Structure 1
Amino acid sequence: MPIQPLTTQIVGSYTKPHWLARHLKMRALDGSWWRPDPEVLADAKHDAALLALYEQERAGLDLVNDGEAQRASYDRHFLRCLTGIDYDHPDKIITNSEVTTNETDPADLEEYFGHSATKARVVSEISWAGPLTVDELIFTKAHASRPIKANLIGPITLAGQVSDHAYGDEKALAIAIARALNQELRALQSAGADVLQIDEPYFHTRLSAARRFGKEAIEVLVQGIEIPVILHVCYGYALSHKVKSTSPTYPEALQILADCPIRGISLEYEQPKHNPDILRYCGSKHIVLGLLDLANREIETPEHVAARLQDTLAIVPPERLHPCSDCGMWYLPRPVAFGKISALVAGTNLVRQRI
């Protein structure tokens, strides 16, 4: 499927119901995120996926997914498609982000951060353990009436979710993960995904790694992939980064991505209040533009979305510009999430009418 001008979409996750998940356990390694009993869990995941898909199509999004309802986290979920990982003896690792412009309020997120610090161990050579998300895609394709985007974690970000006891070298670990994830991407391509998205926030928050081997890791990751690939790079969930100042290192992350073999860059734009000039750092890539502030429970007006989108057309032509949410929406109340994606579509339609 060719990417059409002003293709509306969400980054990845949509509202995940509390009957399905314990939200503060999103990063737990032991499966305690899920509320339903094991014998009904698969049905519960499918019901949540159908609800997410229905609301995206009802709002009028052009490119849809299952809201990531069938997976707990956008990143650690993919450890299950790797060999060489020990979940039973995790390490506790506290890391400081290289990005210091984000202000967090951890008072109500102690459990969330505690699980985030628990890292599975890499104990032997990493390889692909077999398809993990193909069944998720097949289920979505069976029920969607619109083109489908499938999401996969990036190798630098996933490398940051483990404790290395095997490679002893950050680059070697990331490249090994990239090779394994490439097989998952190939499987999703074969299963009929229309667009693939790589989620790589660590391209920004671990910029030193992106500088040293980010391009090489992405080249390995997308080898043999012929359908459009978008790479998402952001500041982090608004759940834990409730106030965001414009990061001085974000443009450099975009510049690195502009030289990578991908079709488009998905960037966070609304919450940090970027201006259109930042899009110049994306080169000639398609731009998936975050226009929904997910730290704010107020629903954007279509006019606000249209104004922010219209301003960027001075930098990027509509055939390379695609309105989106800033980041994942899994923690938002459903009425807020649906209101926001409806405003995204309505605002985009206002701009379509003008051009």
Structure 2
Amino acid sequence: MWKTDLFPTQLVGSYVKPQWLADHSKVYAKEGTWWNVEQQHLQSAIDDGVRLAVYDQNLAGITFATDGELRRQTFSGHFYKLQGIDQDNPAEFTNFHNDITEYLKMKQKATNVGADLEKEQAPKESMKVLFPSVREKIQWPGPMVVSDIPFLKRYAVNRTKITVIGPVTLSYRLVDMGIYPDHAQLCFAIADALNQELKALASAGVDLIQIDEPEVHFRYSQCKGFAVEAVNRMIKDVSCLTSVHVCYGYSKNIELKEPSPIYPKAVALMAETDIDAIHTEYAQPGHTPDFLQSVGNKDVAIGVLNLDPQGEIEEVESIRKLILDAMEVIPKERISLAPDCGMWFLERDFAFRKMKAMCLAAESLRNQFS
């Protein structure tokens, strides 16, 4: 169980990343190059951004506050700090096959791979996509985001949460230069290194660690044979609550998300792991309660906020109905409310009002069922 009052609320990691802090057009450039603030002022500016993100969550009434991932350019690239990953000498990435693009209508051609890359958009032979290379054995370099926890705990009024890239997803955003005999072994090495990070985060006092695994959905057919072991290795002996987030990709690039028949399979695969909870996209794809059977006996954070930037602010009653219908399948004690995915690209007032509606719906549900 979530070890909180009924219907806890949380973000799926990221919150609004202000344009004064970061140039969003450079999000897929080399990690660390998108900042709009001069180097001598950057750390204090990022701290201010985190304060704003936590302030909004406190004001809305979020149960598990994050730092909004304000310190990160991308959720995956931030963890290229693992020893053995070489960003300065990238290599050509060629594995563009995935299982779900036929279920997505894109708004624009994306500059990264995964759910945001349509089959017809795959690079032609004359084009090259370069990803960081693996040129040595993967090892934990020491704490990477552990120092973020004391700052977060200082300002959060409720519980705290942090997100870490999953081993499956990170493994598909690297090019192995023959260091490992197969992809599964690369994934396991990443999992073992990240396990040390998660143990350090738990020791620092964070209440919930979320593992981001979109590639379990995008590349289900490629990773289903080793994803469960990878996640289990990553969370082994971690003392705080753990969850895994499985998604369709950022709404800023996707005009239409149709329910993917792969998605329940990916979620069910994660339900075979030792994880405590699963975060699901639900609102924008239009999933129905029967889908929630795929979470098995896990706690579930149900995505009740459609994050289309051209969308609407949800009505409290519409969010309540989503949860009341979900309770036909999932007991109330196992349900948390969350956005479908990350909110970093939204306007701040728009994001806050959506988050506030979610928290008001959760409060109403608590009053009804407590």
- Common fold, TM-score beyond 0.5? yes
Check the 8 A contact 1:210/1:253 in 2, yes or no: no
| Alpha-carbon spacing, 1:58–1:140, altered in 2? closer, same or farther (3 Å) | same
What is residue 49 of structure 1 aligned with on the other side?
A: 50
| Letter paired with 1:77 | H
What is residue 247 of structure 1 aligned with on the other side?
A: 260
What is residue 151 of structure 1 aligned with on the other side?
A: 163
Matched, 1:289 2:302: yes
The runs of at least 4 aligned residues of structure 1 exceeding 6 Å deviation read 111-114
SS for the counterpart of 1:148 is strand
What is residue 339 of structure 1 aligned with on the other side?
A: 353
What is residue 84 of structure 1 aligned with on the other side?
A: 84
| Alpha-carbon spacing, 1:130–1:110, altered in 2? closer, same or farther (3 Å) | closer
Check the 8 A contact 2:31/2:78 in 1, yes or no: no
What is residue 37 of structure 1 aligned with on the other side?
A: 38
Superposition deviation, residue 136 in structure 1? 1.2
Superposition deviation, residue 168 in structure 1? 4.3
TM-score by length of 2: 0.91
Check the 8 A contact 2:99/2:262 in 1, yes or no: no
What is residue 130 of structure 1 aligned with on the other side?
A: 142
Consecutive unaligned residues in structure 1, runs of 5 or more:
none
What is residue 161 of structure 1 aligned with on the other side?
A: 173
SS for the counterpart of 2:187 is helix
The separation in 2 between residues aligned to 1:110 and 1:259, in whole angstroms, is: 33
| Letter paired with 2:107 | D
Check the 8 A contact 1:265/1:285 in 2, yes or no: yes
Superposition deviation, residue 110 in structure 1? 5.4
The separation in 2 between residues aligned to 1:302 and 1:130, in whole angstroms, is: 43
* Deviation digits for residues 271-309 of structure 1 (CA, Å, limit 9, x no counterpart): 100001111111110000000000143111111111111
- Which has a greater percent of strand? 2
Check the 8 A contact 2:243/2:279 in 1, yes or no: yes
Superposition deviation, residue 350 in structure 1? 2.4
**Root mean square deviation, CA, Å:** 1.8
The separation in 2 between residues aligned to 1:352 and 1:51, in whole angstroms, is: 27
Check the 8 A contact 1:189/1:225 in 2, yes or no: yes
The separation in 2 between residues aligned to 1:193 and 1:288, in whole angstroms, is: 18
Check the 8 A contact 2:34/2:73 in 1, yes or no: yes
| Letter paired with 2:68 | G
* Deviation digits for residues 181-212 of structure 1 (CA, Å, limit 9, x no counterpart): 00110110111001111110111111023311
Check the 8 A contact 2:84/2:134 in 1, yes or no: yes
What is residue 192 of structure 1 aligned with on the other side?
A: 205
May I ask how many residue pairs the two structures share in their alignment? 352
Q: Which region of structure 1 is more displaced relative to structure 2, 15-24 or 207-216?
A: 207-216
Correspondences of 1:3-22 after superposition (within 5 Å): 3-22=4-23
TM-score by length of 1: 0.95
Check the 8 A contact 1:254/1:282 in 2, yes or no: yes
The separation in 1 between residues aligned to 2:112 and 2:237, in whole angstroms, is: 40
| Alpha-carbon spacing, 1:79–1:312, altered in 2? closer, same or farther (3 Å) | same
Q: Percent identity?
A: 38
* Deviation digits for residues 137-175 of structure 1 (CA, Å, limit 9, x no counterpart): 121112211100111110000011111112241101000
Superposition deviation, residue 354 in structure 1? 2.6
Q: Which region of structure 1 is more displaced relative to structure 2, 23-32 or 303-312?
A: 23-32
SS for the counterpart of 2:137 is coil
Superposition deviation, residue 352 in structure 1? 2.3
The separation in 2 between residues aligned to 1:244 and 1:111, in whole angstroms, is: 18
What is residue 277 of structure 2 aligned with on the other side?
A: 264
Check the 8 A contact 2:31/2:73 in 1, yes or no: no
| Alpha-carbon spacing, 1:278–1:248, altered in 2? closer, same or farther (3 Å) | same
SS for the counterpart of 2:48 is helix
The separation in 1 between residues aligned to 2:73 and 2:340, in whole angstroms, is: 19
What is residue 105 of structure 1 aligned with on the other side?
A: 107
What is residue 300 of structure 1 aligned with on the other side?
A: 314
